[in-house]
Amino acid sequence: MAATITENPLRAGVRLERTAQPCVVVIFGASGDLTKRKLVPGLY
């Protein structure tokens, strides 16, 4: 299976190519049910 690269139509005509800086997400209470069912899947 070959991966194809497509261009983002929302970035067409944009002069500056800006990329997001690395960041850290801290989730307090990470052992809870809400985190397992809602928060972590929402990050992906």
Per residue in 1-44, pLDDT (tens digit) is 677 777 777 777 777 777 788 988 888 877 788 877 888 788 77
pTM above 0.95, yes or no: no
Nearest to 29 by CA among 19, 17, 20, 38: 38
The dihedral formed by the CA atoms of 33, 37, 42 and 44, expressed in degrees to the nearest 10: 110
Task: Give the model's pLDDT for residue 17.
Answer: 73
CA distance 36 to 2: 33
Task: Give the model's pLDDT for residue 1.
Answer: 60
- Numbers of helices and strands, H then E, in the chain: 2, 0
CA distance 31 to 34: 9
